[in-house]
Structure 1
């Protein structure tokens, strides 16, 4: 395979602003062959904008009518599993936007289908490709932080409820900031920790601001039909003894407009990742290490490039189906714990 023939499922903003332009930036390694959307006019609009040969009103038609090597799944969360499974069964590698699915059962079926099909499945956790994460991973792999035994995860917006799309619709998204932006920082932390197996999850969610009219830094939202949490808090213990605490919000009364941060603590060093700063004890003193001249890397761009290169080389992309399943288990357990008021044991 010299050229990766790609199809796009879903013609929304993430497809038109991120996936298609970054595929096209790969030059002659990629040909974007088709785009499908339940609203055929949206598919045709994207096809015309990017000179894509085919537009379809359903991904079933696209998978049946066009020979594809890989697919990007860019639909609302509710449809991730069914679209991904159909593409895998049609013989395509799949890059599915985060989160993997709506339920653990769906994510398990996605993993099983990828294994049976022999095709690659990966998820859109693009923060992994940031230089801060890559450098922190190098320190960890070189045992300069020792055993990572605790992590803090923050994905907090002051007034960042999306005023577009279906982000405030629980039926289509499965939840709010936890499943939307929280998963990015959760994946980053777990990736750096070596993706330990969760043991116990305790969670709490709040809907205090999103269901009221207020200031919107991301545009006006439909507060009268706001059905997701505007804040989620969780604690995870892992079978290797490590712990992780998480806070994710679309709207909170805090100082900064947005904080996306992962903090790690190991027995030889710790780190804040965004921006990267490493904390150690050396030569009988405490030292802070701040990298300089980090390469300028756009996470989405690197993610798509790596997906293309891995597919062409026959190598599993960085984010694996099994890791996606762990993410799904933790996210759903936080929501379940919030609903039941009980800790969830694995």
Structure 2
């Protein structure tokens, strides 16, 4: 595929405006964003005018029919990920889809199968994989510096960080709350650093204690009277290689810090906290704490989009692949199923 890459955007919300469009523009002459579609066509038109995009549509079906595209970013609510992704792939486009992959495991599997059949790239917006802390630690784990990683802890917790915009508190459109919005980022980062081990079982609990009543909002006022998601999820995942992972994620919790995003790993040769990166080892009869003196400054969203473009143009494999999306979706849906039934879910 030759330059420039002709890109279309499905969804004219905040993630398109704040992450995808500006970072496509940073790719310069290698990318030409030529179309944007949203069910609220006026939003698509407004964003098209802001970013000098020549075409705006009221549906992705119309965009895919009317404009010749090489690649698409899917930035719509989670409920609509699968139909948009599948349509774009079948139209011959490579696809960068925002997280989480889908609403169900069956949808994630269908998306993966469609990408394989079409011979097109399907990758997901796990931008924390592109953060310098994760990239650095990945090199250490692949070199065996941590040894056998047998335990992980994942935290994605806000004190009062319920989004006061969009559809983040609407279970029908999103599928869930902090687990599938912020928890999924840290869960994916942990699994990526662990080598994406095959899950064996999951036991989960969800809580709705703070979001369904009026309170202080550090991210704007939310519609607490129609709050249909969990405000906290807790889970333990076991893997077939013997490893375990404990996850805690919340939009609202009575904790000290306003926002904590952290992955902690423990292996038989070393351990690590990722944000900020610190590695713990025992060498030469000495306990060591190792911190990098320098890390690159380029952000995860910028690298995510840049590398998607490079993969499309060069035919290389992206860092996030559909099979991992299916595995992640199994764990997410397993947590919700376990929370609903009170039972351990086995895969």
TM-score, normalised with respect to structure 1: 0.99
1:120 is matched with which residue?
121
1:234 is matched with which residue?
235
Select between 287-296 and 245-254 the one with higher mean Cα deviation. 287-296
Deviation at 1:119, TM superposition (A): 0.2
Deviation at 1:42, TM superposition (A): 0.5
Where does 1:158-237 land on structure 2 (aligned, <5 Å)?
Answer: 158-237=159-238
Show CA shifts across 1:150-205 (max 9, x none). 10000000000000000000000000000100000000000000001100000000
Distance in 1, Cα, partners of 2:191 & 2:298: 21
Deviation at 1:52, TM superposition (A): 0.5
Q: Which runs of 4 or more aligned residues in structure 1 lie more than 3 Å from their structure 2 counterparts after TM superposition?
A: none
Distance in 1, Cα, partners of 2:201 & 2:121: 30
Deviation at 1:311, TM superposition (A): 0.8
Distance in 2, Cα, partners of 1:307 & 1:53: 22
Deviation at 1:16, TM superposition (A): 1.0
Show CA shifts across 1:243-294 (max 9, x none). 0000000000000000000000001000000000000000001000011121
Deviation at 1:297, TM superposition (A): 1.8
Deviation at 1:315, TM superposition (A): 1.1
CA RMSD of aligned residues (A): 0.5
1:296 aligns with 2:311: no
Distance in 2, Cα, partners of 1:327 & 1:297: 26
Show CA shifts across 1:43-63 (max 9, x none). 100111111010000000000
Distance in 2, Cα, partners of 1:53 & 1:190: 40
Distance in 1, Cα, partners of 2:286 & 2:164: 49
2:28 is matched with which residue?
27
Between the two proteins, the alignment pairs up a number of residues equal to 346
Show CA shifts across 1:88-113 (max 9, x none). 00000000000000011110100110
Where does 1:1-346 land on structure 2 (aligned, <5 Å)?
Answer: 1-346=2-347
Distance in 1, Cα, partners of 2:59 & 2:305: 23
Show CA shifts across 1:113-140 (max 9, x none). 0110000000000000111011101111
TM-score, normalised with respect to structure 2: 0.99
Deviation at 1:17, TM superposition (A): 1.2
